[in-house]
């Protein structure tokens, strides 16, 4: 049995790939492929990271699933792994596919060695796979994700790939298989199609499963409103709050109704600065032969691109139409006020109807005596 270990990166279509594979588990099983159930994490096998590192190093997103109960989290991770081993024992597949971007981001040297020890319980034929994006596009997507999740955004780290990737290769004793995740360089512009053709078809023959598109972008104007709201309403809170989520829904609906939902574009000077800082792109080219289209590699010199999360705004990073932003903000406020007034009316009606109902019930009870 061969193990395909898909390790990300984040923001390279991982959720779409995982969702498509998970939704097609039965179809895959008939072709000799196991894509395990990730337990409480469902299609993402991020619970494996719990078995690779101390609880205080586990990603907050994973700990949140278990209300930060480390013992329960550890039991769930162990249960997920034992269930995977039982499924492999029953199915005797040609391929086992495991996928989580957390496997690249969270473990360190010792964790990668523990991962290899776990996987060799099932097979020694392991292929670590990592998809990479052009630095500026990746940075822009990460900022979007941070804002949507109610988190401050971080500076672009132009050298982390060349620091961390060798740790994986040392643990597994082989190079990773490095792939380009930019849409114009993926097969048919789709990571699911690309992954199946590159890694699954050579083992079991051509196979097609329905693609899933998730994590669609919102406009830069929506990002600006959401980020401004977080800074004013919850400046010291990390993570989403009910009001934050409600605002996202209102803004998404308004954009959908208007037919305008342009993907955010970094300001040209930001794109240039991020690319210039990314010595990782030079390293990927020289080590794996990966070249991203449209990038002038001659300008890359590793100059740091630092941002101050407390001061840098979405308007500093992305092209934002101030008129569109302000119109959306006004419309969202009107929608929120309308919803609030409707809730107030419903609350009053509920109290009146409730009181009347209690009175009627009391009269009926009295009449039966």
pLDDT the model gives residue 349:
43
> Residue 10 — pLDDT band, cuts 50, 70, 90?
very high
Between CA 247 and CA 72 the distance in angstroms is: 33
Please name which of 132, 89, 71 lies closest in space to residue 291, comparing C-alpha atoms: 132
Higher-confidence residue of 230 and 2: namely: 2
Cross-strand bridge partners of residue 96: 3, 34
pLDDT the model gives residue 141:
93
CA distances from 44 to 6, 15, 97, 294 (A): 11, 8, 11, 32
pLDDT the model gives residue 85:
98
Of 79-83, 276-280, 308-312, the range with the lowest mean pLDDT is: 308-312
Between CA 33 and CA 19 the distance in angstroms is: 15
Kindly tell me if the per-residue pLDDT of 206 is higher than 60: yes
Q: Torsions phi, psi of 128, nearest 5?
A: -75, 130
Average pLDDT over residues 291-300: 96
Burial class (CB in 10 A: 0-12, 13-18, 19+), 293: exposed
pLDDT the model gives residue 355:
45
CA distances from 337 to 32, 225, 247, 250 (A): 55, 17, 12, 11
Q: Are 181 and 191 spatial neighbours (Cβ–Cβ below 8 Å)?
A: yes
pLDDT the model gives residue 101:
96
pLDDT the model gives residue 242:
72
> Residue 363 — pLDDT band, cuts 50, 70, 90?
very low
User: Two tokens at 359?
Assistant: 């009175």
Q: Are 7 and 171 spatial neighbours (Cβ–Cβ below 8 Å)?
A: no
Express each pLDDT in 214-256 by its tens digit: 656 789 999 999 998 888 887 777 776 777 778 888 888 888 8
User: Two tokens at 90?
Assistant: 């029953």
Average pLDDT over residues 126-133: 98
Q: Is the pTM of this model over 0.85?
A: yes
Higher-confidence residue of 249 and 185: namely: 185
Residues 6+ apart with CB under 8 A from 151: 238, 239
pLDDT the model gives residue 29:
96
pLDDT the model gives residue 350:
46
| DSSP sequence for 234-255 | -TT--S--HHHHHHHHHHHHHH
> Residue 347 — pLDDT band, cuts 50, 70, 90?
low
> Residue 144 — pLDDT band, cuts 50, 70, 90?
very high
Please name which of 122, 124, 142 lies closest in space to residue 133, comparing C-alpha atoms: 142
Higher-confidence residue of 113 and 254: namely: 113
pLDDT the model gives residue 341:
57
Kindly tell me if the per-residue pLDDT of 364 is higher than 60: no
CA distances from 247 to 42, 98, 185, 240, 278 (A): 27, 35, 35, 11, 34
Of 144-158, 238-252, 278-292, the range with the lowest mean pLDDT is: 238-252
User: Two tokens at 65?
Assistant: 């699933």
């Amino acid at each position: 049995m061969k193990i395909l270990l898909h390790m990300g990166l984040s923001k390279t279509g991982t959720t779409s790939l995982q969702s498509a594979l998970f939704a097609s588990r039965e179809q895959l099983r008939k072709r000799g492929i196991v894509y395990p159930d990730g337990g409480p994490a469902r299609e993402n096998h991020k619970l494996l990271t719990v078995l690779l590192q101390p609880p205080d190093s586990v990603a907050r997103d994973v700990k949140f699933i278990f209300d930060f109960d480390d013992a329960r989290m550890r039991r769930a991770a162990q249960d997920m792994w034992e269930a995977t081993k039982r499924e492999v024992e029953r199915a005797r597949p040609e391929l086992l596919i495991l996928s989580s971007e957390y496997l690249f981001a969270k473990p360190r040297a010792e964790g990668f060695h523990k991962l290899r020890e776990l996987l060799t319980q099932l097979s020694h034929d392991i292929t670590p796979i990592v998809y990479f994006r052009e630095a500026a596009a990746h940075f822009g997507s990460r900022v979007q994700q941070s804002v949507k999740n109610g988190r401050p955004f971080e500076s672009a780290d132009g050298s982390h790939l060349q620091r961390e990737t060798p740790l994986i290769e040392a643990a597994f004793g082989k190079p990773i298989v490095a792939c380009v995740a930019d849409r114009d360089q993926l097969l048919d512009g789709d990571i699911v199609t690309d992954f199946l053709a590159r890694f699954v078809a050579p083992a079991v023959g051509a196979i097609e499963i329905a693609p899933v598109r998730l994590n669609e972008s919102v406009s830069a104007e929506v990002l600006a409103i959401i980020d401004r709201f977080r800074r004013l309403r919850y400046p010291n809170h990390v993570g989403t709050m009910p009001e934050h989520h409600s605002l996202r829904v209102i803004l998404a609906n308004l954009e959908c109704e208007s037919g305008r939902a342009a993907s955010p574009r970094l300001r040209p000077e930001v794109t240039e600065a991020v690319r210039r800082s990314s010595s990782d792109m030079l390293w990927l080219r020289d080590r794996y032969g990966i070249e991203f289209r449209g990038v002038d590699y001659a300008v890359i010199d590793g100059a740091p691109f630092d941002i101050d999360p407390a001061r840098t705004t979405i308007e500093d990073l992305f092209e934002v139409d101030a008129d569109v932003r302000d119109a959306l903000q006004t419309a969202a406020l009107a929608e929120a006020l309308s919803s609030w007034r409707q809730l107030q009316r419903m609350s009053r009606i509920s109290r009146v109807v409730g009181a009347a109902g209690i009175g009627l019930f009391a009269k009926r009870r009295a009449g039966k005596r």
